[in-house]
Amino acid sequence: MAQPLSGITILDLTHVLAGPFCSMTLADLGAHVIKVERPGTGDDTRTFPPFSKGKSAYFAAINHSKKSIALDLKKDADCAIFERLLGRADVILENHRPGVMERLGYGWDDLHAQFPRLIYGAVSGFGHTGPEARRPAYDMVVQARGGVMSITGEKGRDPVRVGASIGDIVAGMYLSQGVLAALMDRERTGVGRKIDVAMLDAQLAILEHAVAITSVTGTPPAPTGARHPSIAPFETFHATDGLFVIAAGNDVLFEKLCVALNLPLSDDPRFATNPARVENARLLKRLIEAVTLDKTRAHWIAKLGAAGIPSGPIQDVAQVMRDPQILARNMVVDVLDRNGRPAYKAAGNPIKMSGLGDPTVRPPAPDLDGDRGEILRWLEGKG
């Protein structure tokens, strides 16, 4: 069975993370991704550590399975190649500041007039509309401005960014969803769409409980550490050898937890309902830890798991990459080098689809301009 995006060509002008994360997702689903880079320097992440044999593992993890051609869109000869690529492409992706593509003559209006079936995907800090559309942004800027940092960290301490670059990554995920929706729409209409994703918008979109709390109470939530502000018990707990997590997300699970811990709390009015448990979350934590501090994390995770109560260890990334469940799902894959040898590790494709293989290796990340000849032959219909 062919991959779902087999035959779809993506012309990818994006760099760093949000856009490349989108095009990586589309490549994992079978799209032919041509990465258009700046001559001489290419994507900024080519210089990001760590390095293996002089090449960035960061770049390889996000840009495997793509092809690279270096083009200067201020030079006529390179523009001629670029316009031929546009004629063969289904989607163009860009993450320049709004106005840059228009100055080059390749904004949405110009391209849509010349290539009406072309889908135009744009991701930027603040989007293509609004009073601050042209402001620059990075991941940390939108995590801060979008409210995520205000609810992340421990109560009474300085705000912290989420450890993963969710400002970029979530925007890239929304862009890939937009591209897939536009491809489906084009099947019906024959016409391409412009997709405009703002990193700032995407941060607000993931604040499900924070928006609900603020809209009803008028008071924005503060950081609560690992504890969920609307569910209890739903946080970290101490055992004899450290912390683990328990997530009892409803009354049935809480009753099972009480049985497993031999704690007669399920009929106590302070804990009988989730709102009551949230109100008394600090007391509930102390009562639970009075029991869990008597045994190891492994003991409690096994016992709670046997009772059907969601719980688990707090793993570092090295432990995650050795986790049997992660490995069984092909979620750690090898990225090959040009000689077909494993060179880097990367996250696998979390989208598992019936009837499709789920390979444990990925093609190499491209050298800068390393696929020029192949791409030009493809344009001539010879590749």
Which amino acids are annotated catalytic? 228
Tokens found for residue 212: 């609900």
Q: For residue 330, which amino acid is it?
A: N
Rounded Cα–Cα distance for residues 113 and 191 (Å)? 11
Element of type H or E holding 77:
helix 76-88
Tokens read off for 372: 């020029």
**What does DSSP assign to residue 47?**
G
Question: Is there a contact between 37 and 46 (Cβ–Cβ < 8 Å)?
Answer: no
**Other beta carbons less than 10 A from residue 258's beta carbon:** 19
Enumerate residues 6+ apart whose C-beta is below 8 A from 179: 22, 26, 91, 93, 119, 121, 195
Instruction: Determine phi and psi for 295, rounding to 5 degrees.
Output: -140, 175
151-190 exposure pattern, b = at least 16 Cβ within 10 A, e = fewer: bbbeeeeeeebbeebbbbbbbbbbbbebbbebbeebeeee
- Write the single-letter amino acid at 16: V
How far is the C-alpha of 233 from the C-alpha of 203, rounded, in Å?
26
